[in-house]
Amino acid sequence: MNNKIFNLNIEDFAKIFGVKKENISKKCIEIINSRDFRYQHFTKNQRDKIILDLLKKIELQKFSLSGEGKTNRWEKGWGEILDNFIESGYNKKSLIPQYNRDGQPIRLFGDYVKTQDGYFENNWVQLLRTFIFDSYFKDKKNIYEFGCGTGYNLLSFAEMQSNKSYYGYDWVPQSEQIINLIRKKLNYKVYGGVFDMFNPDYDLEVENDKSVILTFGAIEQLGKKYDKFLQFMLNKPFCLYVHINSILELYDTKNNISDYIAYKIETNRNYLNGYFTKLKKLEQKGIIRIIKMHRIPLGGLIMDGYSLTVWEKIKK
């Protein structure tokens, strides 16, 4: 391990978010100053081993596939979290998804690094939520998250501002049960439902008053079958659309090996492909306006899964 220790500061996070330093809110600054965002670079041999391990997993097809009919793992995963949530006396920490593995290498500025704090990625996600909320949700009345999983995002937002209404939809009923327990036991205005993004329910009612839609690491499951969900979103009265997701089109596969590996993993897993190109085409046609499409250069081991896209429909 390279002995030199680096620390991500406010200027670094402004670069990560793609904004000026003065656009970082006070709440975000408090998180940056109170959490441990130190990291070290790996030695050449250590980095080579990480790369080799990932390439072997790609070759052996060790990464699970996305797509229709894959709900069993969510039923099992969210079901375990539902049981833990109840057994813990409705402790919010029990809602952290199992895939947030503490302590493993992360991706940072196109390289793999070792964090000093095992909870680095969870702390980063809380900072990202706060940035999203302060930048895009503060003046909205209704927040809709599709692919909400354990409801942890919505609970975090509700803790920031409890007078809004929060709606969480996911593929499996275990998620709906968690969301409704958050409302009943923790007294937040959070409402759950089951929703299949492959076959959207066009009859789902959306409040026609400052409603925003969020997807957070969810639409990756759609692969190339995103048209129905995109049409659903366009048909509903959302005033703003926010995606936190890997953007396949932004990887530099010709010059960066970690980008090449991430691209290979995502395409092999049948992750979201072509969606952001479609958004650009809709913008060219004057149907939508892309407010921000920014690759967040900080992610988990296998991909930059926290990139940010914000868009709105153009009013006729």
| Model pLDDT for residues 75-125, shown as the tens digit of each residue | 998 999 999 999 999 999 899 876 555 668 999 999 999 999 988 999 999
Stretch 13-17: mean pLDDT: 98
Q: Above 90 in pLDDT, residue 315?
A: no
pLDDT, position 64: 77
Output the DSSP codes for 213-258. EEEES-GGGGTT--HHHHHHHHHS--SEEEEES--GGG--TTT-HH
Q: Among 244, 236, 183, which Cα is nearest to 211's?
A: 236
pTM of the model: 0.94
Band of pLDDT at residue 5, cut at 50, 70 and 90: very high
CA quadruple 121, 123, 126, 131: dihedral sign: negative
174, 74 contact by CB (below 8 A):
yes
Structure tokens at 44: 């050449």
In 50-101, the DSSP E strands lie at none
pLDDT, position 69: 67
In angstroms, rounded to a whole number, what is the distance separating the alpha carbons of residues 162 and 205?
A: 22
Q: Among 300, 242, 257, 283, which Cα is nearest to 106's?
A: 300
Output the DSSP codes for 12-26. HHHHHHTS-GGGS-H
* Percentage with pLDDT > 90 across the chain: 88
Stretch 124-145: mean pLDDT: 97
pLDDT, position 1: 62
Q: Above 60 in pLDDT, residue 187?
A: yes
pLDDT, position 102: 61
Lowest mean pLDDT of 94-103, 167-176, 250-259, 282-291, name the range.
Answer: 94-103
In angstroms, rounded to a whole number, what is the distance separating the alpha carbons of residues 80 and 95?
A: 10
Residue 137: other Cβ atoms inside 10 A:
22
First-to-last C-alpha distance (Å) of the chain: 57
Q: How far lies 35's CA from each of 59, 88, 138, 155, 242, in Å?
A: 37, 25, 23, 20, 26
Band of pLDDT at residue 3, cut at 50, 70 and 90: confident
pLDDT, position 70: 74
pLDDT, position 90: 94
pLDDT, position 118: 87
Band of pLDDT at residue 2, cut at 50, 70 and 90: low
pLDDT, position 310: 98
* Percentage with pLDDT > 70 across the chain: 97
Q: Which residue has the higher pLDDT, 150 or 64?
A: 150
In angstroms, rounded to a whole number, what is the distance separating the alpha carbons of residues 234 and 221?
A: 19
Phi and psi angles of residue 266, each rounded to the nearest 5 degrees, phi first: -65, -40
The angle at the Cα of 203, spanning 216 to 237, to the nearest 5 degrees, equals 60
pLDDT, position 65: 74
pLDDT in tens, 205-254: 999 999 999 999 999 999 999 999 999 999 999 999 999 999 999 999 99
In angstroms, rounded to a whole number, what is the distance separating the alpha carbons of residues 61 and 268?
A: 8
Structural domains of the chain, with CATH: 67-100+128-313 (3.40.50.150)
pLDDT in tens, 27-77: 999 999 999 999 999 999 999 999 999 999 999 888 877 766 678 888 998
38, 193 contact by CB (below 8 A):
no
Q: Above 70 in pLDDT, residue 275?
A: yes
In angstroms, rounded to a whole number, what is the distance separating the alpha carbons of residues 289 and 140?
A: 19
- Average per-residue pLDDT for the chain: 94
pLDDT, position 173: 95
